[in-house]
Amino acid sequence: MALLEVENLQTHFATGDGVNRAVDGLSFSVEAGETVAIVGESGCGKSVTSMSILRLIPEPPGKIAGEIRFQGRDLLKLPDAEMRKIRGNEISMIFQEPMTSLNPVLSVGKQIGEAVQLHQGLNKKDAEARAVEMLRLVGIPAPERRVKEYPHQLSGGMRQRVMIAIALACNPKLLIADEPTTALDVTIQAQILDLMRDLKHRVGAAIVLITHDLGVVAEVAERVIVMYAGRKVEEAPVSELFNNPKHPYTKGLLGAVPKLGSSLSGQSSRLAEIPGLVPSMKQKIQGCVFAGRCPQVTELCREVAPALEEKAPRHIAACHYALKEAVAA
């Protein structure tokens, strides 16, 4: 049994001009200690998926259906009180923008200590000691002093480290990281990625990494799920996906990655792009969700939605024309 099993997840939002199908039938699993990346362009449903797992979608206007099983228990069927015991304790989340996620009027020590007081029953003194320990763990210098400081007194990289410290304070079994390096410069990004990789080995947590940055995926993930318009279109181990992408959308994403030194080598310096626009999530799409932008599109694609099929060992894709490779006996 996997640590996390998401089955046919559908997160829809009622709006004045129709139902927005932000996530439409997504299924995946995460094993204990594994790092799984969910990638795709903005608006594809990545962050809504992470919020759905933690049941942070307001209902209404949102509505979550399907199954989200964590250690065998369906989170969607748990009472609110039970869910609060899991959220921030067994499943933690690093949010995208630390400056808006941290409380500006509480010291970082109090914000870290709040989680362990609530979930582990520590007293105020022990919670402060735990906060110092966590700041030291995530590589913040002089943690005894920093624990008394406020978010505005810290740099962007330090704030992100505080977010990681809060997320890891209760030793969660699953860590969801929503674009953890988006607002940081490349040197700080590298430090945060090194930190996450190191902490994963130390605490043994599984990680679901939400990102649009394929460079980050290559650095830390073991398996990749590619989302488009609320659906999964491809899933594979990292090296297999990068070396042998099957879905035209994945090929487009990889083709759009800037190549260092391309202008010096005489290649075109113009970035590749995927033509067209993402279809409206308020309309039920009959065929393939990528048909309107796909260079290989046929009438079959427009009329029949392709099923997710295994195209190579541990490599699945939803494309009528993705080549199947023979599985070794």
**What would the pLDDT profile of 112-122 be if each residue is shown by its tens digit?**
888 888 888 88
Residue 209 CB neighbours (<10 A) = 28
Which residue do the tokens 């899991």 mark? 86
Residue whose tokens read 């390096």: 181
CB contact at 8 A, 14 and 37: no
pLDDT tier for residue 198 given thresholds of 50, 70 and 90: confident
Residues recorded for the chain: 329
As a whole number, mean pLDDT of residues 83-107 equals: 85
Model pLDDT for residues 144-182, shown as the tens digit of each residue: 999 999 999 888 788 888 888 888 888 888 999 888 777
Q: Which pairing describes strands 206-211 and 174-178: parallel, antiparallel, or unpaired?
A: parallel
Of the CA atoms within 13 Å of residue 211, those in its CB half-sphere come to 26
Looking at residue 216, what is its pLDDT? 82
Residue 117 in contact with residue 127, Cβ under 8 Å? yes
Strands 4-15 and 18-30: antiparallel
Q: Which two tokens stand for residue 183?
A: 């607002």
Question: For the ranges 51-60, 79-88, 135-144, 186-195, which has the lowest average pLDDT?
Answer: 186-195
User: Closest by alpha carbon to 46, among 237, 225, 174, 218?
Assistant: 225
pLDDT in tens, 36-50: 999 988 888 898 999
Distance CA 14, CA 21 (A): 9
Position 77 confidence tier, pLDDT thresholds 50, 70, 90: very high
> How sure is the predictor about 317, in pLDDT bands with cuts at 50, 70 and 90?
very high
Using DSSP's 3-state secondary structure scheme, residue 133 falls into helix
Closest CA to 159 of 135, 124, 190, 142: 135
In this prediction, residue 16 has a pLDDT band, given cuts at 50, 70 and 90, of: confident
Higher pLDDT, 134 or 198: 134
Predicted confidence at residue 329, as pLDDT, reads 41
pLDDT at position 327, please?
A: 54
pLDDT of res. 97 = 73
Name the 3-class secondary structure at 29: strand
Task: Please tell me the distance from the alpha carbon of residue 167 to that of residue 139, in angstroms, as a whole number.
Answer: 15
Q: What is the mean pLDDT of residues 189-216?
A: 81
How high is the pLDDT of residue 225? 95
Measured in degrees and rounded to the nearest 5, phi and psi for residue 49 equal -60, -45
What pLDDT is attached to residue 322? 86
Question: Is residue 108 scored above 50 in pLDDT?
Answer: yes
In the predicted model, is pLDDT for residue 64 greater than 80? yes
Q: Is the pLDDT of residue 278 over 90?
A: no
Neighbours of 145 (CB within 10 A): 11
How far is Cα of residue 304 from the mean position of the Cα atoms in its chain?
Answer: 29
Residues 20, 229 contacting (CB under 8 angstroms):
no
